[in-house]
């Protein structure tokens, strides 16, 4: 995608669980080469929104477009094959498999092929291609020295970066990251921020849910703030940090 191209367009998305309105009329855009943070207190509706963006769940009403096409009703796997990858709040690696094997799982998703389908019809040449792609992405994120280590033996910060490498193997233009900095040490957060800045410079669009405000404010281009299912503010970090409604939401006013 060209820099600045609208990658994700969210229009009037509402999600109800019975009588509870978890997302009410949410609208925003994300462009190529941009990082957007979604923030808000617990229960604000961030995970619900993320599940709809990644097609884990579908909206009650409203529209979501990815590169101009409606995605509601598609599956998460279809979207991963089409260039929309996500990571989860809790690390989902296979801890006793190698770093290389864990990353290669992501390459199966490229072009819409499912893991199971790929595993059933995996000839040698195809397997070599997947491993090559995994090696390339692990080098890109700085894990090239750890290809044969067990994934579970890595520090948490490296495990998070491995998950991103796995997502990159599917060749995404949009990355959705659920609390990527949670539990990381200061230096690990710095390494993660450097990686995300590099991906942004290469034209990737990134949306992240994150609680660590220092991490968010030093990294992202725009902040989208939610409370009780509503969008209460949107803007560059400098204006969000002094926005009265945002301060009120966070200080429990």
Residue 62 corresponds to which tokens in the numbers above? 């409203």
- Classify residue 145 as exposed, middle or buried by CB count within 10 Å of its CB (0-12, 13-18, 19+): exposed
What are the backbone dihedrals phi and psi of residue 199, each rounded to the nearest 5 degrees, phi first? -65, -40
Q: Which residue lies nearer to Mg ion by CB, 49 or 165? A: 49
> What residues pair up with 8 in beta bridges, in sequence order?
30, 66
47 part of the interface to ligand ADP, by CB under 6 A = yes
- C-alpha–C-alpha distance, residues 36 and 220, integer Å: 6
With CB cut-offs between 5 and 8 Å by kind, which of Mg ion, ligand ADP, none does residue 44 bind?
ligand ADP
- The candidate with the shortest Cα–Cα distance to 157, out of 218, 208, 219, 91, is 91
Q: What minimum distance in Å lies between the beta carbon of 178 and Mg ion?
A: 7
Residue 65 corresponds to which tokens in the numbers above? 């477009």
48 part of the interface to ligand ADP, by CB under 6 A = yes
| Contact pattern from residue 4 through residue 33 relative to ligand ADP, giving x for each residue in contact according to CB under 6 A and a dash for the rest | -------------x--x-x-----------
Q: Yes or no: say if 177 and 163 are a contact pair by the CB < 8 Å rule.
A: no
106 part of the interface to ligand ADP, by CB under 6 A = no
Residue 169 corresponds to which tokens in the numbers above? 């193997």
Interface residue with ligand ADP among 11, 14, 43, 78 (CB under 6 A) is 43
42 part of the interface to ligand ADP, by CB under 6 A = yes
Interface residue with Mg ion among 47, 51, 85, 158 (CB under 5 A) is 47
Contact residues: ligand ADP, CB under 6 A: 17, 20, 22, 40, 42-48
Contact residues: Mg ion, CB under 5 A: 47
């Amino acid at each position: 995608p060209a820099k600045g191209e609208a990658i994700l367009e969210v229009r009037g998305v509402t999600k109800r669980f019975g009588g509870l309105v978890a997302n009410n009329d949410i609208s925003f855009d994300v462009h190529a080469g941009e990082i957007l943070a979604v923030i808000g207190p617990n229960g604000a509706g961030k995970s619900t929104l993320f599940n709809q963006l990644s097609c884990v769940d579908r909206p009650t009403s409203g529209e979501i477009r990815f590169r101009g096409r409606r995605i509601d009703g598609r599956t998460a796997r279809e979207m991963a094959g089409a260039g929309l990858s996500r990571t989860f709040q809790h690390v989902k690696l296979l801890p006793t498999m190698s770093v290389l094997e864990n990353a290669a799982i992501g390459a199966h998703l490229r072009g819409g092929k499912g893991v199971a389908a790929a595993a059933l019809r995996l000839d040698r040449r195809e397997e070599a291609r997947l491993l090559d792609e995994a090696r390339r992405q692990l080098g890109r994120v700085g894990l090239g020295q750890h290809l044969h280590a067990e994934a579970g033996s890595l520090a948490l910060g490296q495990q998070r970066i491995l998950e991103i490498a796995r997502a990159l193997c599917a060749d995404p233009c949009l990355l959705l990251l659920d609390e990527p900095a949670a539990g990381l040490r200061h230096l690990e957060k710095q390494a993660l921020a450097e990686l995300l800045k590099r991906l942004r410079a290469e034209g990737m669009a990134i949306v992240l849910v994150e609680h660590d405000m220092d991490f968010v404010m030093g990294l992202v281009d725009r902040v989208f703030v939610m409370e009780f299912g509503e969008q209460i503010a949107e803007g560059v970090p400098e204006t969000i940090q002094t926005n009265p409604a945002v301060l009120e939401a966070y200080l429990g006013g």
